[in-house]
Amino acid sequence: MTQEAIKILLVDDEVQFVDTLAERLSMRGFTADIAYNGTSALEKVANTQPDVIVLDLRMPGMDGFAVLKAVKQRNPQVQVIILTGHGGDQEAVIAGRYGAYSFLRKPTDIDALLDSIRMAYRDKVENAFVAASFAQAGDIDSAREVMAEKDLLQG
Amino acid sequence: MTEKHCIQSLLASSTHDMRNVLAVIRESTGLVQDMLRFGADVPNKERLLQALEEVQKQISKGALLTNSVDCLTKSTAEHGAGRCDGVRVAQAFCSMIARHAKAAHICCIATTAEQAVWFEHDALTVLQSLMSVFEQCTRAQAALCLEIRAARHEGTIGFYLTAEGEAAALEALASASGIQSAPPPWPAKLLPWREQGKQRFWLALKAYSA
């Protein structure tokens, strides 16, 4: 898997933070799109179908939990990593229930974030591969279950 | 509005903001390292300076936040029991609540003043009264800008509040003529009036005193 192959969407209302993070990811060979609020994030998910979303929780208007729920309802295969300055263990548990892949607190090390992004992407690819195998064998129900497996396990 | 709830809200907002400050510092300094490590032999000087300026800016923001949190602990000790500078408390409140306010589309601005306005209350009591007004604003769920100025008015001390924003928020605030907490009730009352087309309030801090 090449780094460029992972489509990342960064969602955060802290413009300076998210712009600089995108710049640093770019220097490591990743391309990251940016959304500065929840509504814009959902539009970008519909239009560009990212592999991994790095999502802030507390934002003006639509907050991160609302975005997470909407993404998991519409595109369960998209992996969501929460990266936030808000909240503690309780928020982490809720995020897990809603289907978040992992929960990171700001300020996080870029290598820790990249590890999480790579693992989330690998999980997504593996899920898609297994689902495709079921689908090829004509077992559509199992294929659907695999695609939503993470949500079922975490919900 | 209990003391505990007030402290929790202010600390939660401040902690969130401080994490954002640290996150921007980490990314900006990380970018400088990256540019020197991965970039060209001659790094983009302008971008380097911009990143370092951002670090300076965030450090100032962090220092302001720290001083504001310090206001909670120091005011009583520095100025005697039950006494605080309303100007400083208003500034501390606006700084500490900024992150929660942003998420609620509310902007709180403390008017700066050269002279202190001494309140015969401890800082926490004063912060509670401002927090009650802020929560009244959030219940309206509408965008609002709230300017806060510590002052004396007809022998009482309190805050002049000038609110600008959506009608729903202004109406919600205007309908809140009494702001109090339980138990025990502490002295505060919000008096609305309109002046020069703006919604203004006087938050009196002794209205209920016996």
- Locate the domains of chain A by residue range: 3-154
* pLDDT the model gives residue A16: 94
B83 to chain A, any CB pair closer than 8 A? The answer is: no
Closest chain A residue to B32, measured at CA = A24
The shortest C-alpha distance from B114 to chain A (Å) reads: 32
Distance CA B106, CA B134 (A): 9
* pLDDT the model gives residue B186: 47
- H or E element at residue B203: strand B198-204
Distance CA B80, CA B210 (A): 22
* pLDDT the model gives residue A153: 44
Task: Write the residue in B19, B34, B54 that is nearest to A107 by C-beta.
Answer: B19
Distance CA B86, CA B123 (A): 8
Size of interface A-B (CB pairs under 8 A): 66
Q: How far apart are the first and last CA of chain B?
A: 20
Task: Write the residue in A24, A85, A86 that is nearest to B30 by C-beta.
Answer: A24
Across the interface, whether the CB atoms of A63 and B103 are under 8 A apart is answered yes
- List the structure tokens of B176: 């809140």
Laid out side by side, the sheet with A79-84 consists of: A31-35, A7-11, A52-55, A79-84, A102-105
Full-model pTM: 0.81
SS (H, E, C) B33-53: HHHHHHCCCCCCHHHHHHHHH
A24 to chain B, any CB pair closer than 8 A? The answer is: yes
Distance CA B133, CA B158 (A): 13
- List the structure tokens of B58: 């965030």
Distance CA B76, CA B141 (A): 34
Across the interface, whether the CB atoms of A85 and B17 are under 8 A apart is answered yes
Provide the CATH topology of domain A3-154: Rossmann fold (3.40.50)
Residues of B in contact with A59 (CB under 8 A): 103
Closest chain B residue to A108, measured at CA = B23
What is the secondary structure of chain A as a DSSP string? --GGG-EEEEE-S-HHHHHHHHHHHHHTT-EEEEESSHHHHHHHHHHH--SEEEE-S--SSS-HHHHHHHHHHH-TTSEEEEEESS--HHHHHHHHHTT-SEEEESS--HHHHHHHHHHHHHHHHHHHHHHHHHHHTT-HHHHHHHHTHHHHHH-
Closest chain A residue to B102, measured at CA = A60
A17 to chain B, any CB pair closer than 8 A? The answer is: yes
Are the C-beta atoms of B43 and B36 separated by less than 8 Å?
yes
pLDDT tens over chain B, length 210 residues: 678 888 899 999 999 999 999 999 999 999 999 999 887 677 788 999 999 999 999 999 999 999 999 887 765 555 556 788 889 999 999 999 999 999 989 999 998 877 888 888 888 888 888 888 888 888 877 888 888 999 887 777 888 888 888 777 777 777 765 554 433 444 566 777 776 767 777 777 654 433
Q: Where are the alpha helices (DSSP H) in chain B?
A: 3-38, 45-79, 86-103, 123-139, 167-174
* pLDDT the model gives residue A147: 64
* pLDDT the model gives residue B182: 39
* pLDDT the model gives residue B83: 80
Are the C-beta atoms of A10 and A59 separated by less than 8 Å?
no
* Residue matched to tokens 């505060």: B188
* Residue matched to tokens 């975005």: A67
Task: Write the residue in A20, A60, A107 that is nearest to B103 by C-beta.
Answer: A60
Task: Write the residue in A16, A63, A110 that is nearest to B30 by C-beta.
Answer: A110
Closest to B89 (Cα-Cα) out of B76, B100, B102? B76
- List the structure tokens of B44: 């983009």
- H or E element at residue A73: helix A64-74
* In CATH, B84-204 is 3.30.565.10: yes
pLDDT tens over chain A, length 155 residues: 455 689 999 999 999 999 999 999 999 999 999 999 999 999 999 999 999 999 999 999 899 999 999 999 999 999 999 999 987 888 999 999 999 999 999 999 999 999 999 999 999 888 877 777 777 777 777 766 766 654 444 43
